[in-house]
Structure 1
C-alpha cells in the first residue's frame, strides 16, 4: 500500500523507497531467497516477496527457482544515463589514451549527492589492479578524484558534504578528521593535483587533476592509479602529472566546443 509522508517539505512514497531498498539488498547479496533478503534488510518476508514479485514482473529482477538476482535492465539504464552525459562524451577517448600512455588504470569521475561516481575507467592489458566497477559510488575523501573535486568547492560546500556523508575510515591511512581534510584540500588547491596514498585500498596509489568546465557541464576529475611501488614521487612528477594535465587540457578544449 502506498503512503505519503511529509519529509523536509517534500512528499515521499514509502513503497518506492522500500523497492529501492530491496534492490540494494539484492545487489549486496548477489543472489538470495526471500527469507535471506528479509533477514538482511530486517523487513517482513511478505513485504519483501511483494516487492520482488513486482520487480520481477517489470523485468528488473530475475527469479530462478526462488533465488533472486538483479537483471541487466539496470545495465541498460546506467549505460544510457552515462551515454547521455556530455562529460562522458568528451573524456572517454582521452581516458583510453591516458591508460595506454601511462600503463596504468585511468579514470574519470564526477560528484553526485556527496559521493564520487566513477564515470569511466580503462585498464590497460597486463595491469594488476583492484577492479572497481564503472558507476561505483565511493566516499569523496577516499579517492584522488574525490579529493580533487572537493578542492574545487568552497569551505561551506565541503562542510555540507561532510555533514551529510561523514568521514568514515576505509584503511588506516584514511583522513577521518575535518581539520586534516581541509588542510589537505588547501594543499591540493595550491599544487593543482590530488594524491590518494592507500587511503581507500592498501597498496594502491592514485593521482588526479580536476577538469575545468563550463557551467553546463558537471565538475569532473581524471586520475591514474596503480600499485604504490610503481607510482613513486619521481615518476608521478616526471610522467604521470604531465600526462594528466595534457589530457585535462584536451578535455577542457573539447568541452568548450562540444
Structure 2
C-alpha cells in the first residue's frame, strides 16, 4: 500500500520517494495510463495512486490529457541541463557530429553510470539507417560496443562488480552470457584497440567502438562508436575505414578533453 508519509525502508531510504518513482517508471513503460489502469498494473490502492499522480502533476513531472497521464518534458529539461554541464559532452559533440557526417552512419557517444551504458549523444549521417535508440538510453554494458570498449579497460574487479550487480542477461542468441567468454572478448578488444557489437543486441546491426581515455589519469571515461547495417559495415574495406574513423575520433576527443 502506498502511503504519502515519508516512511523509511529497511535500506534507510524513503519509501514514499521509491513508490513515486515506481509510478513514474510504470508510466514510462506504458506511455499513457489512467488511474484505474495504473492501480491494476501496480497493485496499489486507487486512492493512493491518485495522490501520487496529483503530486507529480503539481510538480510538473507528469501531465494529464483526457483522463490519461504521461511523463512531461520536465525530465528532458533536467537531463539536458545536466548533460550541457559535462565537459566531455562539450568537447566531444563536434567530433561525434563530424564522425556521423563523414561516415554517413550513426555516430554515438556513451558513458558508464552505475554499471550501465548511457547514450549521451548521437549524430546520424545523411545516409544513415535510422537508429531508434533514444538519447539518455541505459543498456547493459556487454550488449553494446560502447560498453565493451569501456569494460575492456576497466580493472578486473570493476568488471566483476558490474557483472555481479547486473548479470549478463541475453538480448538475443548473439549476446555473450558467460563470464569467461566476456573476459576473453575484453582481452581481444584491448589488444586490437576497438570493440565490435556484432548483433549482440539487435539483429542485423553492427557497431564499432573505441574507448576515450583521460590522458591525465589514464582512466577510460567514455567511448565513441558508429552503427549501421551489418551487411554494409561488414564489408572488408568499409569495416577497416570505419575502424580508422572511430579511432581517430576517439583520439581527437581525448586531446580536446586534455587541453580544454
Deviation at 1:242, TM superposition (A): 1.1
Can you list the C-alpha shifts for 1:26-70, whole angstroms capped at 9, x where unaligned?
111111111212222233322221111000001111011320001
Deviation at 1:4, TM superposition (A): 1.4
Can you list the C-alpha shifts for 1:67-91, whole angstroms capped at 9, x where unaligned?
0001111110010011011110110
Structural RMSD (CA):
1.6
Aligned to 1:80: 81
Aligned to 1:100: 101
CA distance in 2, matches of 1:24, 1:256: 38
Aligned to 1:222: 224
C-alpha contact 1:108 1:221 (8 A) present in aligned 2 = yes
CA distance in 1, matches of 2:87, 2:247: 20
C-alpha contact 2:197 2:208 (8 A) present in aligned 1 = yes
After TM superposition, the score normalised by the length of structure 1 is: 0.95
CA distance in 1, matches of 2:212, 2:232: 25
C-alpha contact 2:144 2:200 (8 A) present in aligned 1 = yes
Q: What is the correspondence of 1:47-126 to structure 2 with a 5 Å cutoff? A: 47-126=48-127
CA distance in 2, matches of 1:38, 1:17: 16
Q: What is the correspondence of 1:169-248 to structure 2 with a 5 Å cutoff? A: 169-213=170-214, 214-215=216-217, 219-232=221-234, 234-235=236-237, 237-248=239-250
Deviation at 1:234, TM superposition (A): 1.5
C-alpha contact 1:92 1:120 (8 A) present in aligned 2 = yes
Task: Mark the runs of 5 or more structure 1 residues left unpaired by the alignment.
Answer: none
C-alpha contact 1:211 1:252 (8 A) present in aligned 2 = yes
Task: Mark the runs of 5 or more structure 2 residues left unpaired by the alignment.
Answer: none
Does residue 45 of the first structure (1) align with residue 49 of the second (2)?
A: no
